[in-house]
Amino acid sequence: MFDVLEKYDILAAFWMTIKLTFFSAIGALVIGTVLAIMRVSPVAVLRRLGAFYVNVVRNTPLTLIVFFSLAGVGIVLQINLVDPNSATSLRDNAIRWAMVALAVYHAAFVCEALRSGFNTVPLGQAEAARSIGLTFGQSLREVILPQAFRGAIAPLGSVLIALTKNTTVASVIGVAEASALMKVIIENETASVAVFLVFALGFVILTLPVGLLFTSLSRRLAVKR
Amino acid sequence: MKARRLGAVAAAATLALTLAACGSGQPSGGSGGTGGGGGGGLKIGIKFDQPGMGLKKGNEYSGFDVEVAKYVAKELGTSEDNITWVQAPSAQRETLIQTGQVDFVVATYSITDARKEKVSFAGPYFIAGQDLLVRADDATITGPDALDGKKLCSVTGSTSAQKVKKQYPGVQLQEFGTYSECLPALQTGGVDALTTDDTILAGYAAQEQYKGKFKVVGKPFSKENYGIGLKKGDTAQCTKITDAIKKMISDGSWQKALDANLGPAGYKPGAGNPPTPDACS
């Protein structure tokens, strides 16, 4: 069995999975934080916009978002994220659109995780911040957000693990990550339990340490009240 | 107590969903089909999403593979009403056969050595070749030699996609989950050609909404022997199916089925057709 697997570059495929995860996670964190701030802001329109985004994106299948981002926006509307004349434009475009789609999708979950973090901060903290004269922005930056992040570490870890596994969806637009390679192997060597197990093991190796790290972080960084 | 029961229901629902995702189209339930197949019926695996070869529309099944399957079933003594059609996506074909969920598979199933280690094949009943589908007004792509710098579309991980990557390094390849997803990209100019077996291409070109928009280039650059996959080592069944294929070719039904399903696209089968099925071993 393992001689079959030696013919394929499994590490390169998982490296692509890691790259997808890394860049999408950063994107999701940024968008998600903005969304979370919108959802707790004193402006009603922003709150509704944030809620609308979360509800729409969270309830749309990821496959659809990923496929639509490349096929609909990238190819039909011709909005390229790379130089269309480069020799690898198709491949790079697919990778970048996959990252965008994954970031946009998981931002909704990051937002909700952060909002749960906001709820761990007692109301008195915000009131105290305002009473010493901090503006909304200042109190958010100096008082609320740092505590919210520390309270939201565990759910953020869950989002990251989900994101890692969800990168497999990128194979629907041809990104050469782990599950795409699995399809190649199944096509050439026929399906067998061993192939599935190897790839499942790969994901466990990626996600298990993340889970352990975030659990211990959440324990160490949680605000003692 | 109540919470626990709810939990059990949720778990069951999740399980059902997972099963549905894994084996969609499988005859309902885990009874292994013992109930349905009682009266000498056959369970045949076909593609449900390949126009011209195996396509499910409502409760109607059409395509060349379907015609071959019906003919073989008839020769095996099973009428059309007693056939249970099972969806056989490429990645699941071996498993479906090995676990007995289907009696045989007629689903653009190329005979390869790796697959022969798991299942037996009767046939070939058709010889297809990898070809190119281009926009009807595109005169620049005349064959595989004119592909340098072009953008091609195929299905993630498919044999066709791998062949392009290996043999034509100057070509850019966009991979999607299914061939139908390539068509809008081809139509709008996002890619220059769609590549896979000519049978599949002809089936898409013949579809109502794409009539006249695309053409098959007609210079196949590979040879795919389509066979009927069945349980490994079942020589008796294999011989019967092979005889049925031979009869289908000799009595003209083969040609008729081909013309009816792939003819509208102006498709002419490549060299070597109709093939002579190999002896079973």
Model pLDDT for residues B159-172, shown as the tens digit of each residue: 888 888 888 888 88
Residues of A in contact with B90 (CB under 8 A): 187
Tell me which of B138 and A124 has the higher pLDDT: A124
- Sign of the alpha-carbon dihedral angle for A81, A86, A88, A90: positive
Tokens of B28: 């309902």
Same domain, B91 and B147: no
Cβ under 8 Å to A: B residues 148-187: 151, 156-159, 162, 172-177, 181, 184-185
Could you tell me the residue range of the domain that residue B79 belongs to?
Answer: 29-128+224-265
Contact yes or no for A75 and B185 at CB 8 A: yes
Same domain, B161 and B109: no
Same domain, B64 and B79: yes
| CB nearest B175 (choices: A174, A189, A190) | A174
Same domain, B48 and B87: yes
Any B CB within 8 A of A194 CB: no
Contact yes or no for A90 and B174 at CB 8 A: yes
pLDDT above 80 (res B25): no
The model's pLDDT over A161-173, given as tens digits with 9 standing for 90+, comes to: 999 999 999 988 8
Contact yes or no for B156 and A78 at CB 8 A: no
The model's pLDDT over B257-280, given as tens digits with 9 standing for 90+, comes to: 888 887 766 677 777 778 888 877
- Res B15: pLDDT: 46
Q: Provide the number of CB pairs (under 8 Å) joining chain A to chain B.
A: 79
The domains of chain A are located at 2-220
B243 pLDDT band (50/70/90 cuts)?
confident
Tell which of A79, A190, A193, A195 to mutate to test the B interface (max B CBs under 10 Å).
A190
Domain annotation covers residue B209: yes
CATH of the domain at B209: 3.40.190.10
Same domain, B233 and B103: yes
Question: In whole angstroms, what is the distance from residue A105 CA to residue A97 CA?
Answer: 12
- Res B5: pLDDT: 54
Domain annotation covers residue B13: no
| CA distances (Å), origin B224, targets A75, A78, B124, B196 | 31, 35, 9, 10
Domain annotation covers residue B121: yes
Per DSSP, the three-state class of A91 is: helix
Question: In whole angstroms, what is the distance from residue B18 CA to residue A130 CA?
Answer: 50
The model's pLDDT over B103-159, given as tens digits with 9 standing for 90+, comes to: 889 988 888 888 888 888 887 888 888 888 888 888 888 888 888 888 899 988 888
- Res B63: pLDDT: 86
Residues of B in contact with A182 (CB under 8 A): 157
Question: In whole angstroms, what is the distance from residue B211 CA to residue B228 CA?
Answer: 30
Does 3.40.640.10 match the CATH number of domain A2-220? no
Domain annotation covers residue B84: yes
Domain annotation covers residue B278: no
Return mean pLDDT, chain B.
Answer: 79
Tell which of A1, A65, A66, A75 to mutate to test the B interface (max B CBs under 10 Å).
A75
Same domain, B39 and B77: yes
Burial string for B24-39 (b: 16+ CB within 10 Å, else e) reads eebbeeeeebeeebee
**Which of B216, B248, B275 is the last residue in one of the domains?**
B216
Q: In chain B, what percentage of residues exceed pLDDT 90? A: 1
Which residue matches tokens 């676990």?
A: B99
pLDDT above 60 (res B2): no
pLDDT above 80 (res B33): no
Contact yes or no for A172 and B151 at CB 8 A: no
pLDDT above 90 (res A20): yes
pLDDT above 90 (res A54): yes
What phi and psi values does residue A17 have, to the nearest 5 degrees? -60, -45
- The nearest CA of chain B is from the CA of A186 a distance in Å of 6
- The nearest CA of chain B is from the CA of A94 a distance in Å of 8
Question: What mean pLDDT is predicted for residues B96-108?
Answer: 89
Range with lowest mean pLDDT among A26-35, A86-95, A187-196, B29-38: B29-38
Contact yes or no for A186 and B157 at CB 8 A: yes
pLDDT above 60 (res B36): no
- Res B27: pLDDT: 40
Domains identified in chain B, total number: 2
Residues of A in contact with B120 (CB under 8 A): none
Question: What mean pLDDT is predicted for residues B2-12?
Answer: 51
B28 pLDDT band (50/70/90 cuts)?
very low
Same domain, B108 and B165: no
Q: Does the global pTM surpass 0.90?
A: no
Q: Which range in A18-22, A183-187, B179-183 is most confidently predicted, on average pLDDT?
A: A18-22
The model's pLDDT over B51-71, given as tens digits with 9 standing for 90+, comes to: 888 888 888 888 888 988 888
Return mean pLDDT, chain A.
Answer: 89
Same domain, B84 and B72: yes
- Res B212: pLDDT: 79
Range with lowest mean pLDDT among A71-80, B35-44, B60-69: B35-44
Same domain, B136 and B76: no
pLDDT above 80 (res A175): yes
Any B CB within 8 A of A89 CB: yes
- The nearest CA of chain B is from the CA of A151 a distance in Å of 28
Question: What mean pLDDT is predicted for residues A69-91?
Answer: 78
Tokens of A219: 């324990």
Question: In whole angstroms, what is the distance from residue B220 CA to residue B272 CA?
Answer: 12
Same domain, B80 and B208: no
Same domain, B50 and B159: no
Question: What mean pLDDT is predicted for residues A17-38?
Answer: 95
Same domain, B111 and B201: no
Residues of B in contact with A181 (CB under 8 A): 157
Closest chain A residue to the Cα of B116, Cα to Cα? A190
